[in-house]
Amino acid sequence: MPGEIHLQELTKRFADVVAVDGIDIDMPAGEFFTLLGPSGCGKTTTLRMIAGFERPTSGQIVLDGVDVAQVPPHRRNVNTVFQSYALFPHLDVAANVAFGLKYQRCTKEERRKRVAEALGLVQLSGFERRKPTQLSGGQQQRVALARALVLRPHVLLLDEPLGALDARLRKNLQVELKALQAELGITFVFVTHDQEEALTMSDRVAVMNGGRVEQAGSPREVYEQPETVFVADFLGVSNLLSGEATAGDDGACVLRMGERALRAAQGATASRGQVKAMIRPERISVEPHGTAGDNRVPGLVERAVFLGNAFELHVRIVGGDILKTMVANDGSATDLEEGAAVTLHLPAEAVRVLAPSEPAAAEEPATAS
Amino acid sequence: MTRWFRNPWGKPRWLVVVTALYIVWSILPVGIAILFAFNNGRSRTTWQGFSLRWFTGSTGSVLHDPALQGALKHTLFLGVLCVLVATPLGVALALGLQRWRGRGSGTVNTMMLLPLVTPEIVMGVALLLLFLNVFPGLGLGTKAQAIGQVTFTLSYVVVIVRGRLVSIGREYEEAAADLGAPPHDQLLRVLLPLLAPAIIASAAVVFALSIDDFVVTQYLSSDASTTTVPMLLYATARGAPTPALNAIATVTLLITLATLALAFFVYRRFAGGGQAAVAAALEV
């Protein structure tokens, strides 16, 4: 199946700034691949290099076995949906969608058929004669999609295509985009800074930071098994713990934090010395004050944030650090007000020892973030 | 009266008064000049009744006096020629300058603005010396006048078109390239249609500048056949003036205003926002 991309040692320098720093990524054909990261992490530059708008400083972009790094954009079999859609304002919807067909050998009749098909695919039949300015944001986004898909590319590049839409429309389009990708079976390369979007839509996510790939894997892998502090911190909410790793049993290690010790059974448990470990708020359970057992720490509720379906508790544990935890609003949590004494259970199999991030992940919060 | 003037919650009244005075002061002479174009007599100072004799009368009118006719035709001819040469050249320059990033581009950008601030008399003398000493083969006359006008109107085209280019950005070209359009199609199918309002506006500005120009056109003229309306007005104002001069001035003014109004509306109609560039240009 066509649509396979390998980025090899891909680097882009702008004057003194290294935007993309020798990344290697494999994007399997037919998958929904997401480049996720904060602004300035190099994800958009990477996408623009795949599209051909930026020329790599060095490295290869292998598309279906051919290095296209030096091929101009109009000769690449990839198409882009731009963040601002970039619909041609002087052309109507049909002419926008038909724009690229001029460069594919097809008859007038076929051209008309394909435009109609593409507009049908994005549910915009009947809008042929409208001008882009007469469409809503969501409709413009669909036209941009149709304009790219009508050319039957092997790879579709999407640069934060949902960024300009309101929350509800965004949710709907997330589902539609994912369904469309599954239906067409072509490779989607999606750029976003929204971790929720990345987790819900992707087959595979590459988390980028400072021009490098921190971690790539399925959404579950990067969320549940973050390898670096940056990934743990960027995806979802996590509690970060600092401590000294010492040997434990059963392949686990023991994390010493002052007089307290926690067993950690996940991640880089072979590390020794000062390390960071993380645990997700939803994996911490809140128990009545004084409950005994392993991996339990006492603390005081400092803040209880009502979220509707749950409470987010900020618990200050002995030693001063704050851990965030979630308690479902199931009617039992009546006494979890500020100042209440509780015991937190941090199961060993939910405590994950992290490899240190590249220096680019500059500020590492000492505790919860 | 004092309450109207001193009301601290109202608009600053003295500004209103100053503005009103200025408008009257600036329009009055033009209004009087236009009024006397319709005078039914030879006087340009004493009103002798309304008439169109200086526009369409059988002798000495704009329509029938050979000198006036010649000047008007030559003025319009130069205007059209200047538009046809300066506009495409300016668009090409603007596109080139916009794409050119690197050593020297800043200097060239600044130099493009020089003709806008150079005193016209300096430009006129410089061009005259150029045609007399460096390119004597070309000679003075229509050709020299056209080249001179193109020289200083070109900058206006570059400034207006570049303003539009900046607001368009690179994304539409990238989208076209992405859809398979080779570079010349990116230009023809996307960039030029998007630039059309700015191109039309700058063409109108060039035309208006050309038909109003006196200094450069005067310096580079050769004989009576290369006299333009402004030159004619200057030359005859002290000789034997008749209201026909007012009439031809009125005609020129109307053509200028109509051209600028057309440009303004075309620009506003098609470009939506970003009228600042043309508005600034129109105020020159």
Q: How large is the ipTM?
A: 0.81
Q: Which among B68, B44, B71, B46 is positioned nearest to B56, based on CA atoms?
A: B68
Q: What is the pLDDT of residue B273?
A: 41
Instruction: Indicate whether B203 pLDDT > 80.
Output: yes
CB atoms within 10 A of CB B264: 17
Which residues constitute the domain of residue A296? 229-354
**B24-47 burial: b if 16+ Cβ within 10 Å, else e:** eeeeeeeeebbebbbbeeeebeee
B78 or B263, higher pLDDT: B78
Q: Verify whether the Cβ–Cβ distance B175 to A82 is below 8 Å.
A: yes
Query: Touching check for B189 and chain A: CB below 8 Å?
Result: yes
Minimum distance, in Å, between the CA of residue B176 and any CA atom of chain A = 8
Specify whether the CB–CB gap between A228 and A215 falls below 8 A: yes
Determine phi and psi for A304, rounding to 5 degrees.
Answer: -125, 110
Name the residue among B175, B193, B196 with its Cβ closest to that of A86.
Answer: B175
CATH of the domain at A48: 3.40.50.300
- Do A125 and A110 form a contact (C-beta atoms < 8 A)? no
Provide mean pLDDT across the span B209-225.
Answer: 91
Same domain, A64 and A37: yes
Neighbour-count burial for A48-72, b at 16+ CB within 10 Å, e otherwise: bbbbbbbebeebbbebbeeebbeee
**Per the CB < 8 Å rule, is A99 touching B177?**
no
Is there a contact between B181 and A100 if contact means CB atoms under 8 Å apart?
A: yes
Q: Per the domain annotation, does A39 fall within a domain? A: yes
Provide the token pair at B68: 């006036």
Pair (A78, A130) in one structural domain: yes
Q: What SS3 state is found at B164? A: helix
pLDDT tens-digit profile of B182-202? 999 999 999 999 999 889 989
**Residue in A closest to B181 by C-alpha:** A74
Tokens of residue A227, six digits = 């390898």
Residues of A in contact with B177 (CB under 8 A): 52-53, 72-74
Residue B241's pLDDT is what?
79
Partner-chain contact B180 A74, CB within 8 Å? yes
Query: Is residue A88 a part of any domain in this protein?
Result: yes
Residues A295 and A329 in one domain: yes
Please compute Rg for chain B using Cα positions: 23
B273 touches chain A (CB under 8 A): no
Q: Least CB-CB distance to B180: which of A82, A86, A103?
A: A103
Q: Are residues A140 and A247 in the same domain?
A: no
Query: Which CATH number is A343's domain given?
Result: 2.40.50.140
* A264 and A206 in a common domain: no
Chain A window 28-67: which residues touch B at a Cβ cutoff of 8 Å?
A: 51-53
- Claim to verify: residue A49 and residue A166 sit in the same structural domain: yes
- pLDDT the model gives residue B220: 92
Higher pLDDT, A177 or B269: A177
Q: Which of A301-305, B72-76, B172-176 has the lowest mean pLDDT?
A: A301-305
Q: SS3 sequence, A71-138?
A: CCHHHCCEEEECCCCCCCCCCCHHHHHHHHHHHCCCCHHHHHHHHHHHHHHCCCCCCCCCCHHHCCHH
* Min Cα separation A74/chain B (Å): 4
On average, the pLDDT of chain B sits at 86
Residues in chain B within 8 Å Cβ distance of A88: 172, 175-176, 190, 193-194
pLDDT tens for the 369 residues of chain A, in order: 788 999 999 999 998 899 999 999 999 999 999 999 999 999 999 999 999 999 999 999 999 999 999 999 999 999 999 999 999 999 999 999 999 999 998 899 999 999 999 999 888 999 999 999 999 988 999 999 999 999 999 999 999 988 878 888 888 888 889 999 999 999 999 999 999 899 999 999 999 999 999 999 999 999 988 988 899 889 988 898 888 888 887 778 888 887 788 888 888 888 888 888 899 998 999 888 888 888 898 889 999 888 888 888 999 987 778 899 988 888 776 677 888 888 999 998 899 998 765 444 444 444 433
The type of residue at B182 is P
Q: Are residues A197 and A253 in the same domain?
A: no
Q: What is the pLDDT of residue B237?
A: 76
* CA distance linking residue B187 with residue B182, whole number of Å: 9
Task: Give the DSSP H or E segment for A262.
Answer: strand A260-264
For residue B283, what pLDDT band results from cuts at 50, 70 and 90?
A: very low
Give alpha helix (H) positions in chain B.
2-6, 13-37, 53-56, 66-99, 105-117, 120-129, 142-168, 171-178, 183-185, 192-212, 215-219, 229-237, 243-271, 276-282
**A209 lies in the same domain as A279:** no
Other CB atoms within 10 A of residue A272 CB: 12
A61 within some domain: yes
- Interface contact B102, partner A, CB < 8 A: no
Q: What are the tokens at B93?
A: 């320059």
Residue A305 maps to a domain: yes
Residue A188 within a domain: yes
Domain membership flag for residue A36: yes
For residue A98, the distance in angstroms to the closest alpha carbon of chain B comes to 10
Distance of alpha carbon A69 from alpha carbon A63, whole angstroms: 9
- Look at chain A and report how many structural domains it folds into: 2
- pLDDT tens digits for A122-180? 889 999 999 999 999 889 999 999 999 999 999 999 999 888 788 888 888 888 899 99
- Min Cα distance A93 → chain B (Å) is 15
What is the four-CA torsion angle of B176, B178, B179, B184, rounded to 10 degrees? Answer: 40
- Residues linked to residue A6 through DSSP beta bridges, in sequence order: A26, A62
- Contact of A73 with chain B, judged by CB distance below 8 Å, is answered with yes
Instruction: Provide the number of CB pairs (under 8 Å) joining chain A to chain B.
Output: 63
Evaluate if residue B282 carries a pLDDT over 70: no
Position A334 scores a pLDDT of 66
Q: Nearest Cβ partner of A74 from B171, B172, B177?
A: B177
- Return the closest-CA partner of residue A313 out of A351, A339, A349: A339
CB atoms within 10 A of CB B12: 10
C-alpha distance from B264 to closest chain A C-alpha (Å): 19
Please count the residues of chain A: 369
Q: Based on the domain organization, do A178 and A234 belong to the same domain? A: no
Q: Tell me the β-bridge partners of A255.
A: A245, A262
Predicted confidence (pLDDT) per residue in A328-367, tens digit: 888 776 677 888 888 999 998 899 998 765 444 444 444 4
Domain end point (choices A224, A250, A280): A224
The domains of chain B, with CATH numbers, are 65-282 (1.10.3720.10)
Where a domain ends, among A224, A256, A272?
A: A224
From A167, A196, A224, give the residue that closes a domain: A224
Is A217 among the domain residues? yes
User: How far is the alpha carbon of B59 from chain A, nearest alpha carbon, in Å?
Assistant: 51
Higher-pLDDT residue of B82 and B50 is B82
Within an 8 Å CB–CB cutoff, is residue A168 touching chain B?
no
Residues A290 and A166 occupy one common structural domain: no
Is A219 in the same domain as A238? no
Burial (CB count <10 Å: 0-12, 13-18, 19+), residue A88: buried
Q: Which band of pLDDT confidence, cut at 50, 70 and 90, is reported for residue B102?
A: low
Please name the member of B181, B193, B196 whose beta carbon is closest to the beta carbon of A74. B181
Residues 6+ apart with CB under 8 A from A99: A88, A91, A147, B176, B179, B181, B189
Co-location of A304 and A343 in the same domain: yes
Max alpha carbon distance in chain A (Å)? 79
Q: Is A365 inside any structural domain?
A: no
User: What span, in angstroms and rounded, lies between the C-alpha atoms of A246 and A248?
Assistant: 7
